[in-house]
Amino acid sequence: MPTEPLAILQQTFGYPNFRGLQQEIIQEIMSGGDALVLMPTGGGKSICYQIPAIARPGTGVVISPLIALMQDQVEALRQLGVKAAFLNSSLDLQDQKATESAFSKGELDLLYVAPERLNTERFLKLLLEVRISLFAIDEAHCVSQWGHDFRSHYLELSLLHERFPEIPRLALTATADLKTQEEIIRRLGLQKARVFQGSFDRPNIRYRIAPKQNARHQLLKFLTHEHPGDSGIVYCLSRRKVEETADFLKAQGLTALPYHAGLPAEDRQHHQRRFLIEEGVIIVATIAFGMGIDKPNVRFVAHLDLPRSPEAYYQETGRAGRDGEAANAFMVYGLQDVVTLSQMVEASEAEEQHKRLERQRLDAMLGLCETISCRRQVLLRYFDQAAPDYCANCDNCQTPPVTWNATEAARKALSCCYRTHQRFGAHHLIDILLGKTQERLERYGHQHLSTFGIGRDLSEKTWRSVFRQLITHRYLEVDQAQHGALKLTETCRQILRGEKELLLRWEDDQGETRPGASTKRWANRPFIASEKPLWSALRELRKKLAEEQGVPPYIIFQDSVLIEMLERKPKTLGDFALLSGVGEKKLLRYGKPFLRIILEHERTD
């Protein structure tokens, strides 16, 4: 195997050139420096440590948080002829000993381990006996208590700096706001490390957010109209909702599997494996699912509940479209989501400083939902990155939202809250504004209020939108001491006194999401429709080879490589070697069978 980084990239990985910051990062590690790498999902982070681990003398040790992630990475590397292995609880004792033996003899290029194993004295002793080329700390946001996937064992990884100061370290993550970045640097002792931050923009992902009316109906319409037969992830806030949504989708004839921490471990592993191996599988999950998932052809990520921060939203939606092809990030949310997440923040046992930060993140998430400007711009600015005013690939840019002067409606809502002594939630206040004759209102004498019935000019759904946006704009806030009651903030005085006009997003009573521009997978590749027989044959061959080896199909070749086969129609092994992602080992293993399929279809045309 070559030892020069560019030669490894070309001959082993099959790519002609480095992209983005990869070359700079690799040079820093090759020279013995440390690095903090911030790159989007699908941005090529893994190559930043895999190539130096191969090029430098010794074995690269990769600390990874999930068994599935380790297995996926190792399977992919072995396909390329790289000597890689993992140590985790999925191995029996015999396989663990064999892996440790290969590691101690210097027979591995890369070894993947969980932080829990690395922190044991037994493994640390083993590290002292082996030549290590580098330490890579993947999913490094797990080190931060401010992050969204906190793992306590990551806090102990500072020992790498203390015990092995001469060995270069990379900490890598797909997303981290400034607070999380500072925590990673402090916890891992990376004060002298170079920080490499690529653009977080994922231009192939289309962002779409809509008010929640009938979430299941909205989801089903989205799936059947835009993603028939596609693989994707649906996120829900609770385990119960995960189960109910998966059952609903199955009843509609879709292949949907639940995933949450309450399921037996073997069921979770089986469902995750099916998602990785099979085509067209939809995983319905809590946020327990997805970190480190390498499946490149996830065509959509849907949220049926509000994520708790833009960082979490970015991380979760980033699991779509890793192959660079068109993908969808679809979300519906409602007022109850805001109340529930606010209650979760206040009910936690965290320190007040942490709660304050979580409130700020929730506010930022609401701002992303309610914005009338480009969503990509709002999302990137959250990470202190520049963004265009118009991205052409979010719902707001494709179909600009309608706004309306909601000043008078806001005054009615705020007055109603004030006259009920700030002790009731939005549902009760809306009933008053609509003048509903209900026992609950009569019990408190609220049918005699001056605000009773003054909001009949607007529908109930519009009033829910008004209250939700008043919370987003900080004119109202959720009072946890009063079980979700709404209370006025100081800023609402400007509205009540008529000193400020308020423009809000207008939502129709149907709350339908607007499809906008086409988001079908091959919208920009019409030639695939004309090549459907060959496309199907290539996929079928890939599936057969994958099944024979017990690996996901994308480990053989990603969709993007098959697409390039359709475009370029290689006729010789030399032509096939020029395809992006075809290294020497894959050329030897798969060149002839794929060429045979291509040439057979050429003869029949």
Task: Tell me if 414 sits within 8 A of 476, measured CB to CB.
Answer: yes
Per residue in 201-244, pLDDT tens?
999 999 999 999 899 999 999 999 999 999 999 999 999 999 99
What confidence category does residue 522 fall into, taking pLDDT thresholds of 50, 70 and 90? very low
Per residue in 1-59, pLDDT tens?
667 999 999 999 999 999 989 999 999 999 999 999 998 877 889 999 999 999 999 99
Per residue in 294-325, pLDDT tens?
788 899 999 999 998 898 899 899 999 988 88
Strands (E), 31-117: 35-38, 59-63, 84-87, 110-113
Which pLDDT score is estimated for 147? 52
Name all contacts of 398-401 with Cβ < 8 Å and 24+ positions apart.
398/514, 398/516, 398/517, 399/514, 399/516, 400/372, 401/372, 401/505, 401/506
Which pLDDT score is estimated for 605? 64
What tokens does 515 get? 């499809």
Task: Tell me if 185 sits within 8 A of 34, measured CB to CB.
Answer: no
**C-alpha 412, offset from chain centre:** 39
210 φ/ψ sector (left φ>0, alpha ψ -120 to 50, else beta):
beta
Per residue in 78-113, pLDDT tens?
999 999 999 988 888 999 999 999 999 999 999 999
In this structure, the number of other CB atoms found within 10 A of the CB of residue 511 comes to 19
> Cα angle vertex 527, ends 523, 530, to 5°?
115
Per residue in 142-175, pLDDT tens?
887 655 555 777 778 888 888 999 999 999 988 7
Report pTM: 0.80
Q: Evaluate if residue 473 carries a pLDDT over 50.
A: yes
Q: What domains can you pick out in the chain, each with its CATH number?
A: 5-197 (3.40.50.300), 205-398 (3.40.50.300), 406-502 (1.10.10.10), 527-604 (1.10.150.80)
Q: Evaluate if residue 379 carries a pLDDT over 70.
A: yes
What confidence category does residue 529 fall into, taking pLDDT thresholds of 50, 70 and 90? low
Which residue's structure tokens are 């798969």? 590
Which pLDDT score is estimated for 290? 65
